[in-house]
Amino acid sequence: MTNVSLFLGCVIPNRYPGIEKSTKLCLDKLGVDCIDLEGASCCPAPGVLRSFDKATWLALAGRNIALSEELDRDLLTICNGCYGSLADANHEIKADEQLKNDVNSHLGKIGRSIKGSHDVRHITEFLYKEVGSEKIRDIITHPLELRVAVHYGCHLLKPSKGRVGSSVERPSFFDELVEATGAESIEYPDKTECCGAGGGVRSALPDEALALTGHKLSMIESAGVDCIVNACPFCHMQLDAGQVDLNEKNGTSHNIPVLHYTQLLGLALGYSLEDLGIDLNAVVDLEFLEKILSDS
């Protein structure tokens, strides 16, 4: 199995440290050789910096990738945005020798260089390809009897070149990973629609972002699920804290627990809600979740 370095990004350390803990617990249980990527910076955010200054975006992303190359490890992300930024940068640098030379002209000033020798991985892609749904199913100790709304998120699927699976519009790999825990992935309208946060919309146009979130939540609620499962802390924040914002703004009563995939997997491996940081969410219905889990 490929050795990896863990790239945390910005949102997880600052808003959802439970996702970091759950990821490390799960990877350790699965026997994955994973270490922290020390000295990493922001990816940087693909929807902002790349649009204004591509050379700087490539240099900053290239530095993060170079740090992982120096460890002789693929870089593992647990965020769709980080994955989109770093994977796209890595692809462009590998495909264009002149571009790689340009990036290295900047990195050389800090004594580093990018070789294009390793890959950038997303946690769902890594688990799907390197571990496999069957192995996950075999090692879980607490099968989950949950109805789950899977949220893929935008950067995990698009641009389609180099992304996971054969279908961008009707993907299934994430659903397979969810169902390996014993949970049931429930279909719902507009499943691959954006959560509302991406591309700087959450910061620049908060009302429009919340409108998209509200629509997504209404589709999920209509499906009658127990929780939402994502694989991106920015989507996680929008779907979690966004429920609180919508309730305050519109008088709605959204109350759907939101879990990162490693938190769902951690529950199936026998870790507690507190072990996995689920109690740190904005939407916390621990009594409901504990009741569901007591039947698992």
Chain segment 133-155, per-residue pLDDT in tens: 999 999 999 999 999 999 999 98
Could you give the residue ranges of the DSSP H alpha helices within the chain?
11-15, 17-29, 49-52, 54-70, 80-95, 97-107, 123-126, 133-139, 154-157, 173-179, 201-204, 206-222, 233-250, 261-268, 286-294
Residue range 4-123 in CATH 1.20.1050.140: yes
- DSSP class of residue 230 equals E
**pTM, whole model, 2 decimals?**
0.94
Confidence bin at 10 (pLDDT 50/70/90): very high
Q: How far apart are CA 132 and CA 127, in angstroms?
A: 6
In the chain, residues under CATH classification 3.40.50.11810 are 132-294
Which regions of the chain carry the CATH code 1.20.1050.140?
Answer: 4-123
* pLDDT at residue number 132: 96
Cross-strand bridge partners of residue 35: 5
Average pLDDT, stretch 203-218? 90
Query: Which of 9-23, 207-221, 280-294 is least confident?
Result: 280-294
- pLDDT tens, residue by residue, 154-179: 989 887 776 665 567 789 999 999 99
Q: Exposed, middle or buried: residue 290 (CB in 10 Å: 0-12, 13-18, 19+)?
A: exposed
Is residue 269 a contact partner of residue 241, using CB atoms and an 8 Å limit?
A: no
**Mean pLDDT rounded to a whole number for the chain:** 92
- CB within 8 Å of 133: residues ≥ 6 apart: 176, 177, 179, 180
Which residues have CB under 8 Å from 278's CB, separation 6+? 18, 257, 259, 263, 284, 286, 289
- Correct CATH for 132-294 of 3.40.718.10, 1.10.3720.10, 3.40.50.20, 3.40.50.11810: 3.40.50.11810
Provide the pLDDT for residue 287: 75
User: Does the pLDDT at position 291 exceed 90?
Assistant: no
Mean pLDDT of 20-35: 98
Tens of pLDDT, residues 36-85: 999 999 999 866 777 678 899 999 999 999 999 999 999 999 999 999 99
Residue 296: predicted pLDDT: 61
| 258 vs 278: CA distance, rounded Å | 8
| Average pLDDT of the residues in 278-283 | 91
Q: Model confidence over 236-269: pLDDT tens digits?
A: 999 999 999 999 999 999 999 999 999 999 999 9
Average pLDDT over residues 109-124: 97
